[in-house]
Amino acid sequence: MVSMDMDEGLRSTLRYPLIHGFRIGEEIGGGGCSKVFRAIHDEESKVAACKVIDLYLSPTLGYPPPNIKELQKEVQVHKSLKSPYILEFLHSEVVERDKERDGWVPGLYMLLELAVGGDLFDKIAPDVGIPEDLAKFYFAQLVSGIDFVHSKGIAHRDLKPENLLLAANGNLKISDFGLCAVFRHKGRERLLSGRCGSLPYVAPELGGPLGVGYAAEPVDIWGMGVVLYTLLVGNTPWDEPSSQSPEYNAYLTGELLNYDPWTRIQGQARALLLALLTVDPTQRIKMEGIKRHPWCMTPTQLQREQIADALTQGMRSNGMMAIVDPTFNNQSSQAYIHARSQRMMESQWTSSLRPQESQFLRGTGNITQGGDFINISTRFWINLSPREAFVVLVTFLSKEVGKENLVEGSEGTAIRVRKMAGQKTVQGTFYIRPNDSLSAEGQSLVIMQRGKGSILHWKAFWWSIVRHSDLASFVVRGDT
């Protein structure tokens, strides 16, 4: 973990170049050998996301070297896919290593559409999920996007919550084609053989004998099934589809279906799930069957303006939103909200938004009560100054995850954390900022930005922190 800081120190004097007219702004995500930044085109008043992949990563950091051939394939495939429900690929270029001498950060730069709404599953309460009508809304968009991908002879092979993002109006955006494969070219299809994907979402046939190929489209359809289940109940059905998983073994016998949360899923939704999660890929429902299924044929009753409330319904019912976006009913808070509204009218983020987009972003807390744009819900305000908050959090996290799993930023504004989540780990960074311009004096904003691992586990980690007895007295909670 210490070596990460050493590597950053070596490059701290380097700068990011302009990419296709966009300057690199604040870091908004990443993990392993890549970082994602917000990018701004000042002349055209546009924003985008820029993924920077370190092609020259030091092996001492413990990450495998990037596969240049696979990255080239990802770029070529993603730029060819133009669909309303696929994150748009804008531009790519490589800054060679010899440019370090000129002060530039080398690597592969991929300019992408900015998913202003953030991660879909960032807005979903773990173990709660979303209403069935909203799950139907997002599943229909997922079907449309993956159907288009398959029509081009491409399989995504990595469908999971971390790769499902949201546009400013709440529509789905499928991202990350790093594990994609071409299975049809000039009318000829082939079986795939690479073993890849995230274990909770991967199809069981990928665990077959090495050298035995598998059909491409059923793999994505299985992944769509696990995503639908996760939308409905807020968790995955198993850790992996193998004999190593007690839950999966119970699914094979049918016993699992008699227990919560499966018992919460009824009627045609349950029938579709079982068709999507048919173990034999030759018997698994096909895309045309999905589109003709009664559950998909029955349109959602949700109106567009209801999506934000439906998406955050679970977070509101269990008190999460009172921490993510606290509001108060007292008189001083009413003045605060009025000032917030005035500030929002002048905000760079809201000036270019359509009313539908502004409504969705406010309703999901992506635009805070202070009018600031923060599309990460794993955040909280704390009644401490930034310096005090840093000390308290380091002390708390040292007890919770162990000092060996922390890296303290040299300026006292960031803490990198690694935490065990079952057999896996989640990693991320706690960023500690001064209060926004309209919150109380002496408060700090803590943003927990996930770097690597399950978004559901990271959300559960956040929820355990803000309710912990050691911190609860400091955490700001709203009364609505």
pLDDT by residue, tens only, the chain of 480 residues: 333 443 444 455 789 999 999 999 998 887 768 899 999 999 998 999 999 999 987 666 666 778 899 999 999 999 999 999 999 999 999 999 999 999 999 999 999 999 999 999 999 999 999 999 999 999 999 999 999 999 999 999 999 999 999 999 999 999 999 999 999 999 999 999 988 999 999 999 998 887 789 999 999 999 999 999 999 999 999 999 999 999 999 999 999 999 999 999 999 999 999 999 999 999 999 999 999 999 999 989 999 999 999 999 999 999 999 999 987 766 655 555 555 555 554 455 555 788 899 899 999 999 877 677 889 999 999 999 999 999 999 999 999 999 999 999 988 999 999 998 777 899 999 999 986 554 556 789 999 999 889 999 999 999 999 999 999 999 999 875
Q: Which of 112, 133, 159 is the last residue of a domain?
A: 112
Give the CATH number, domain containing residue 367: 3.30.310.220
Q: Are residues 326 and 266 in the same domain?
A: no
Same domain, 216 and 329: no
Compute φ and ψ for 53, nearest 5 degrees.
-105, 125
Contact 197, 157 (CB under 8 A): yes
Coil/strand/helix, residue 290: helix
Domain ends where: 303, 329, 349? Answer: 303
Q: Return the number of other C-beta atoms located less than 10 Å from residue 168's C-beta.
A: 20
Q: Is 328 found in the same domain as 271?
A: no
Any domain includes 144: yes
In a domain, 471, yes or no: no
User: Same structural domain for residues 123 and 265?
Assistant: yes
Catalytic residue among 54, 158, 176, 325: 158
Task: Check residue 4 and give its pLDDT.
Answer: 40
Q: Which of 88, 112, 136 is the last residue in one of the domains?
A: 112
Residues 107 and 127 reside in one and the same domain = no
Confidence at residue 210, expressed as pLDDT on a 0 to 100 scale = 79
326 and 456 fall within a common domain: yes
Residue 10 is predicted with a pLDDT of 46
Within a domain: 309? no
Same domain, 350 and 214: no
43 and 139 share one domain: no
In tens, the pLDDT along 216-229 reads: 999 999 999 999 99
Domain that holds residue 369: 319-466
Which CATH number is 164's domain given?
Answer: 1.10.510.10
- What pLDDT does 337 receive? 56
Asked, for residue 308, whether it belongs to a domain, the answer is no
Is 472 among the domain residues? Answer: no
- Rounded to 10 degrees, the C-alpha dihedral 232/133/448/39 comes to 130
> How many folded domains does the chain comprise?
3
Q: Are residues 399 and 342 in the same domain?
A: yes
Task: Write the CATH number for 86.
Answer: 3.30.200.20
| Cα distance between the two ends of the chain | 40
What does the pLDDT read at residue 350?
55
Specify whether 57 is located in the same domain as 204. Answer: no
Helix (H/G/I), strand (E/B), else coil: 325: coil
Q: Count of alpha carbons within 13 Å of 116, Cβ hemisphere only?
A: 22
Annotated catalytic, 158? yes
Amino acid residing at 104: W
